[in-house]
Amino acid sequence: MSLLEGIRGPRDLDALTVDQLGELAAEIRDFLVREVSKTGGHLGPNLGVVELTIAMHRVFDSPKDAIIFDTGHQSYVHKLLTGRQDFSRLRSEGGLAGYPQRSESPHDIVESSHASSSLSWADGISRSFAMTGQSNRSVVAVVGDGALTGGMTWEALNNITDDNSRNLVIIVNDNGRSYAPTIGGMAHFLNNVRTRRSYRSLYSTSRRAFEKFGAPGRALYRGIRGGMHGFLSRFTNNEALYSNLDIKYLGPVHGHDLRALIEVLEQAKNYGAPVIVHAITEKGRGYQPALLDTADQFHAVGQIDPETGEPIEVASKPSWTSVFADEIVHLADGNPKLVGITAAMLRPTGLHKFAEKYPDRVLDVGIAEQHAVTSAAGLAFGGLHPVVALYATFVNRAFDQVLMDVALHKAGVTFVLDRAGVTGPDGASHHGMWDLAILQVVPNIRIAAPRDATRLREELGEAVLVEDAPTVIRFSKGSVGTEFEAVRRTADGVDVLREAPHKDVLIVTVGPMAKIGLQVAERLAAQGIGATVVDPRWVVPVPESLIGLAAEHRIVISIEDGVRVGGIGTRIRQDLRAGGVDTAVTELGLPDEFLEHGSREYILEQVGLTPQDIARDVVAQVLGSKIPVARPLPDDAPVSPRTHPA
């Protein structure tokens, strides 16, 4: 039996020698490459924290001691050490989540994978322990160096250092990267620490010197190592980083040296006040294909060949992201006012090609969405047109800035929201399902949801011409779907995708839900029910022609992959009433729940957004057996659907 197979919980580590822990680390790396290559997932970040996670669980007593990851994509090793070694369905329905999840284990504390929040969690938990007399419990926050670019981190540090009598350890996992290399002044400082010759030479020279004396020398080296870390940090001026925070700094420590990590974490645990431990690690460590990947060192991978790191399957169609990446460069070629902004996700959001061609026109502000949005408002005031590219789930963090800094000031800023709707394997915190409901309350905002690649190019071009209000383009994760050409386009831009001779049902589809809408219409036609299918293209504000079409039909069905509470369907219903149209509206979308991880198809099926489910309900509404009931036919002649199922 391997060492890893013998680990059922963190305390099993206590029986292993440090050398055996090193063997365990090698086994874990082999396991991660073998298993994650089958399922896909966050490989590079986890390869970089193997020794760090082993050392944490050796020194601290989880779950009595609370361990918080920022962000949770680096928690695979933590899962392995806390008894979760079945990775066969990682990030799939019924399998392990890709992030910490309380329903999986009491060792998982924080489920949200939005970066830079861990120190606020740690502040609250440690204060709670102190206020309730639980002085024997520690709190450990593992913060990737990229998270230090987020404002919440510094707000939390400010409060942590105002009350420095708690058992709180902050581990800065410094690998120089978030997704891609970390940017900003903080990154420059840490990069200097990481590469400074004085640190590297002192560390390696002292170790070699003591190694010459054999076992006694190694023992002496280990004994003085804690003091050595302090000396090195002072000598290389690392403490200057935290000098004004009144917080103890230990490091930098080699993030793959188990003895060093265990010793420095024991010092931190016993200090009795907040401590920052600065660990220098290597993302993708031990796996050459990851180390050679200059883009993101295998931050997240699909199914790959474990030997070569090459993808097993290559998408036959371009992704939504790649279509945007090419089109924004095309638009920038003809419009020098266009600039790009992203929050530590240059490549994932598709701005990398823009940055490669026009490096002075693309800004990466780090994990700081709020700053990105307000900075964009400033750029617009100065005469530019910013395009802010974010994942849809992360625009939630900057709502106030969209509302008060962009919209209130009538700033021409375009927001491009990638991974909108159901994203699948990354679970609750990564589904981009709230953007439509949240953003449509912003006055004068205009929101577009392209159904295919052609419409993405078209709507993006329209968005960047708007100079007096925020515009939003939102699209899905993965490959673009089938191109659906319109039968006709109304004067105000609504695409009619299908029309029937008799107007029973108007199906309004949002973005990629056009495919489902057309499939529903086919099923209804087989039942003798006429359906018109439209894609508004710009779903907010509701186009006038859509209100006119609704008045001509017996019932309206809206289909969106956003939360239906306050969604586009709700907006349509309200605008119909305001326009004096009494056609009933059925608003189909996602429930106001936190949806688990699983494939997009599986999740849509679970929530009833399939052609069969929708068509069955529409038939019942047309027949008058389900609310809302369709208006009667003008001549009161009932529709008689055929007997075979929808």
Q: Hey, which residues are catalytic here?
A: 283, 369, 397
* Length, in residues, of the chain: 646
- Specify the residue for token string 């963190």: 10
Helices 258-270, 18-39: axis angle to 10 degrees equals: 100
Dihedral sign of CA atoms 379, 381, 384, 385 in order? positive
Find, among 107, 119, 103, the residue nearest to 151 by Cα. Answer: 119
154 closest CA partner among 192, 117, 185: 117
Cα separations in angstroms, 212 against 200, 208, 217, 263:
19, 7, 7, 22
List, in order, residues 6 or more apart from 291 with CB less than 8 Å away: 282, 284, 285, 297
Q: How many CB atoms lie within 10 A of CB 396?
A: 17
> Residue 614: which of 474, 495, 505 has the closest Cα?
505
Residue with tokens 């966050």: 42
Residue closest to 535 by CA, chosen among 518, 555, 519, 554:
518
CA dist., res. 274 & res. 242, Å (int): 12
End-to-end CA distance of the chain: 55
Residue 524: name the closest of 507, 510, 539 by CA. 507
| 77 contacts: CB under 8 Å, gap ≥ 6 | 28, 32, 46, 49, 50, 53, 54
Tally: H helices and E strands in the chain = 23, 18
What are the tokens at 572? Answer: 């349509």
**Contact in structure between 248 and 219 (CB atoms under 8 Å):** no
Q: Which helix (DSSP H) or strand (DSSP E) does residue 550 occupy?
A: helix 544-552
Q: Which two structure tokens, joined as six digits, stand for 306?
A: 């474990």
Q: SS3 sequence, 322-377?
A: HHHHHHHHHHHHHCCCEEEEECCCCCCCCCHHHHHHCHHHEEECCCCHHHHHHHHH
Rounded Cα distance, 493 and 544, in Å:
10
Give me the residue label for tokens 């007399």: 133
Structure tokens at 99: 């992030």
Contact 143, 252 (CB under 8 A): no
Three-state DSSP class for 505? Answer: strand
Which residue is associated with the tokens 């220098």? Answer: 280
What is the DSSP secondary structure assignment for residue 493, as one 8-state letter?
S
The DSSP code sequence of 507-548 is EEE-GGGHHHHHHHHHHHHHTT--EEEEE-SEEESPPHHHHH
